[in-house]
Amino acid sequence: MIELAVLIVYLILMLLIGVYEYRKTKGVLDFYLAGRNLGVLLVSFSFFATYFSTAAFLGGGGFGFVAGFQWSAFLTFFHILFAIIAWLVIAPPMKRIAEKYGSLTIPGIFGMSFGRASQIVSAIVILVFFQFYMVSIYKGAGNLLEVMLGIDYKTALIITVAVVMIYTAIGGFRAVVVTDFIQGVLILAGGIALFVTLIAYLGGPVNAIESLKAAEIFKGSGENLFKFGELAPPPIMNAGMVIPFILSLTFAISIAQLASPQLVIRFVAAKDERVIRKGAILTPILIGIFALCVFSIGPFGWLIIPQYDDPVKYLKNSDLVIPFIAMKLFPAGINALLLTAIVAAAMSTINSLVHVIATTFTRDLIGSVVSVSEKTELLITRISVFAFALIPMIFAINPPDIIVVIVGLSFSVITSAFLIPLLSALYDPEAKEKPALASMIVSVAVCILWYMYFYRTYWVYPVIPGVLASIIVYGVTAKVKRVEAVPA
């Protein structure tokens, strides 16, 4: 079987890179940040590959089957917009601040800027909510291998997790960014190839669009796929909340580029500010090309899926749309490359998440309680990689929801908790701990409560109330602190 053979070769290559980079990892700085010596290609492709997980291929690409091109358009727009902002607004000061303080983690920056309590709280947020995010990626990888290779779902999970655990634990951040580069190339090539093949199969862009407009979908004709505010899952359409749902979810997923620790830590690992300036050009281009291609595929599923299967099943689980289209359009050899690209998307995100969790747990939690030698810290971090990669795998065996929902919630919490404190640490020389700490705690609580009690009424994703709560609480608390500081 060609698909399996290509996948095995890829997995062996990832392990070999881990072994090679193990020999170059001399200490904690190398394991955590690759010696702060990365060039533009490694930083940009690593940012790109880490951001686009299986959820981007399966959830982001497939959900257009349900929501139409409004989903594709806004998700692409927000992705490019926030990629530019991240590299222009967050990257330069973050590089300078991290080097000034000698910080190796995002909670470490918070600790030096605000105090130990902020460092510990931010570390706990990372540990908890990154685990949820990893469940969604594990689910996507498992579903993909199950559909495209016909192997058992649990076996697929074990294969994915085992390889990532090994090369991340032994090779550290050096292995992460080098494998990310290879995975990024595969992800970009796979996304472009799938989109181009689909449009060619449908007779070119003009014929594809005209055919889609004439097709019958779950609500009227295909014309509705091109309308704003028309399509969404039935409960959202019935509530008349299509526009708030689409805008808030695409916003929640995309704005994560500004504050997600697994992404912004790459700015710290860059060699110098020239790398940041070049990355500010290259990275949005990479993100824009991939987003435009992959996020536009889902609606065209209405021209493929009804020929072979009942589309109702894919409305209930749109994560299956992209694998199905790929299986029907690509010959075995090309299919193998696409399969590998989507698996690469999963692994490139998992390795970064588990690396951030392990380094945060060791340096920001254990390091806050006891002082250990560099050798011991490195050993604990490597062991933590194994532990924190296995925990979400257990939950992924019976996953809680479709990929896009889990990712949206996780991104909402992380973004809401970190965005305002991070901006404060980078731009406010008088930043205080109480405002940062209060905004983190309140924003996390608001996101969770909103999702539990209000989301299915208003269909506005938690990132909106979460960020607003963070801004208000930070502003009010900071003003109170400044008033208290003024002598009577």
Q: What percent of the chain has pLDDT over 90?
A: 52
Token reading at 397? 């065996």
Question: Model confidence over 388-437: pLDDT tens digits?
Answer: 999 888 888 876 555 555 655 777 888 899 999 999 999 988 888 899 99
Q: Give the pLDDT mean for 195-199.
A: 93
Domain residues for the domain of 206 are 2-401
Question: Model confidence over 357-380: pLDDT tens digits?
Answer: 999 999 999 988 888 888 899 999
Q: Is residue 32 part of a domain?
A: yes
Residues 368, 369, 375: CA angle, nearest 5 degrees: 80
CB atoms within 10 A of CB 26: 10
- Model confidence, pTM: 0.91
Quote the mean pLDDT of the chain: 88
Q: Is residue 472 part of a domain?
A: no
Say what the pLDDT of residue 407 is: 59
Q: At what angle do helices 332-359 and 116-149 cross, to 10 degrees?
A: 160
Q: Is residue 168 part of a domain?
A: yes
181: domain CATH number?
Answer: 1.20.1730.10
Say what the pLDDT of residue 195 is: 94
Q: Is residue 483 part of a domain?
A: no
Q: Give the pLDDT mean for 377-386.
A: 91
Q: What CA–CA distance (Å, rounded) separates 28 from 11? A: 26
Question: Model confidence over 119-147: pLDDT tens digits?
Answer: 999 999 999 888 888 887 787 778 777 77
Least confident range from 100-109, 111-120, 245-254, 332-341: namely 332-341
Contact 411, 256 (CB under 8 A): yes
Question: Model confidence over 138-189: pLDDT tens digits?
Answer: 877 787 777 767 788 888 888 888 888 898 888 898 888 998 899 889 889 9
Question: Model confidence over 303-331: pLDDT tens digits?
Answer: 999 999 999 889 988 888 988 888 888 77
Q: Is residue 130 part of a domain?
A: yes
Q: Is residue 424 part of a domain?
A: no
Token reading at 24? 């170059």
- The count of structural domains within the chain is 1
Q: Is residue 300 part of a domain?
A: yes
Say what the pLDDT of residue 313 is: 86
Q: Is residue 248 part of a domain?
A: yes
CA-CA distances (angstroms) from residue 221 to 71, 213, 217, 224, 417? Answer: 17, 7, 6, 6, 42
